Amino acid sequence: MRPYASGLIVGRFQVFHSGHERVFRTALKLCGRVLVLVGSSQESRTEKNPLSYDERVSMLTAVFPRESRSGRLIVAPLPDIGVGNVPAWGAYVLRAAVKSLGSVPELLVSGREERRVSWFDDCGEDISELYVPKTIDISATAMREWLCEGDEESWKRYCPRALHKSFGAMREAMLASEGNGRTASL
């Protein structure tokens, strides 16, 4: 039995890297089910959000096939609503989580240092938070740059092995997105 029935991870995952994988593995160790809300799900082929929601779901299920099939890892879209880290955002995220899980998540798991559980301060819910410290210095921005540059060696160094075969397709998406600065994302 795990200490939490359900956990929540929120992110864009443009693109998924080893740091994300560590956060997911930690959440799966602690929670019976983990909901991943994929932000900016309405957007693709822009510089900020080159990959579509479906492409990002494919990445996650490729890295966690067993957990996805069993229903322990649940992935759902989280379109942007045009607000930042304010109570409206927290209520929006919480509604999306409850819709997918059927209940309020017990644990918010994040790879960011800033306090994210503050999103829910005005929602009247008691949600615990776990920050998973970085053990490697990597960012999705660096991953996107290596894809654009065609630097497969650097990209693979920080990419989960299950995604290595997707370098060409992801690079194509990055190149198709170059110069498209339009975004609904924050």
Average pLDDT of adjacent 10-residue blocks, the chain of 186 residues: 96 95 98 97 92 97 98 96 72 95 96 77 87 91 96 97 97 89 61
Sign of the CA dihedral with 96 first, then 100, 101, and 106 last: negative
Inter-residue contact 33 to 132 (CB < 8 Å) = no
Residue 69 within a domain: yes
CATH number at residue 49: 3.40.50.620
Residue 11 within a domain: yes
Domain that holds residue 18: 4-137
Residue 13 within a domain: yes
Residue 57 within a domain: yes
Residue 163 within a domain: no
Task: Tell whether pTM > 0.85.
Answer: yes
Sign of the CA dihedral with 66 first, then 168, 158, and 109 last: negative
Instruction: Give the total number of structural domains in the chain.
Output: 1
